[in-house]
Amino acid sequence: MKVLLDTHIFLWFIIGDTRLSTDIRDTIRTPDNEVYLSAVSVWEAIVKYQLGKLPLPEHPGMYLPKQRNLHQITSLALDESSVAQLANLPPLHRDPFDRMLICQALQNGLTIATVDAAIRAYSVSVM
């Protein structure tokens, strides 16, 4: 399975938050799965950190990549072909970060791990 973690899923995973379902936790930990964290999620977390909405134990520019590497999660860059998907995406969800994750999932054939119900309104694979 090829999985793209929504920002909150990644954050819950690295801190061991009990809101993360066992199914998603097991999916992330299964070596046969390809698990990705988008550069968009790092961007979102940094913005929220700077606004004082996301406390982190270290500066996010160092902490997030360190945690991604520690948990053997692959970085997914934002490329032009993924951004171009936005032109075809209906405006069902107002969060620009989530909209870009949807575009990346569609472009790269990924399943999004999320609890965000608004993402399910799109024709993208969700777990």
Residue-wise pLDDT for 89-114, tens only, equals 998 888 999 999 999 999 999 999 99
pTM: 0.95
**25 — phi, psi (to 5°)?**
-60, -45
**Residue 116: band (very low, low, confident or very high) from pLDDT cuts 50, 70, 90:** very high
Query: Which pLDDT score is estimated for 91?
Result: 86
> For the chain, what is the mean pLDDT?
96
Residue 34 pLDDT exceeds 90:
yes
Query: Which pLDDT score is estimated for 93?
Result: 82
Contact 9, 115 (CB under 8 A): yes
Query: Which pLDDT score is estimated for 88?
Result: 92
The stretch 41-65 carries a mean pLDDT of: 96
DSSP the chain: -EEEE-HHHHHHHHHT-TTS-HHHHHHHH-TTSEEEEEHHHHHHHHHHHHTTSS--SS-HHHHHHHHHHHTTPEEE---HHHHHGGGGS-S----HHHHHHHHHHHHHT-EEE---GGGGGSSS-B-
Query: Which pLDDT score is estimated for 103?
Result: 97
> What is the signed CA dihedral for 127, 70, 60, 10, rounded to 10 degrees?
10
Query: Which pLDDT score is estimated for 87?
Result: 95
